[in-house]
Amino acid sequence: RKEVEQDPGPFNVPEGATVAFNCTYSNSASQSFFWYRQDCRKEPKLLMSVYSSGNEDGRFTAQLNRASQYISLLIRDSKLSDSATYLCVCGYSSASKIIFGSGTRLSIRP
Amino acid sequence: DTGVSQDPRHKITKRGQNVTFRCDPISEHNRLYWYRQTLGQGPEFLTYFQNEAQLEKSRLLSDRFSAERPKGSFSTLEIQRTEQGDSAMYLCATQVRGQNTEAFFGQGTRLTVV
Mean pLDDT of chain B: 92
The three-point CA angle B49-B94-A98 to 5° equals 70
Going by pLDDT thresholds of 50, 70 and 90, the confidence category of residue B100 is low
DSSP-derived secondary structure for B46-93: EEEEETTEEEEE-TT--TTEEEE-TTSS-EEEEE-S--GGG-EEEEEE
Residue numbers in A near B100 (CB within 8 A): 32, 49, 51
Please give the pLDDT value at position A51: 86
More confident residue, B62 or B89: B89
pLDDT at A25: 93
Least-confidence region, from A26-30, B41-45, B106-110: A26-30
Q: Of chain B residues 9-68, which have a CB less than 8 A from chain A?
A: 33, 35, 40-45, 48, 50, 55-56
> Is residue B99's pLDDT more than 80?
no
Task: Tell me: pLDDT of A30 over 90.
Answer: no
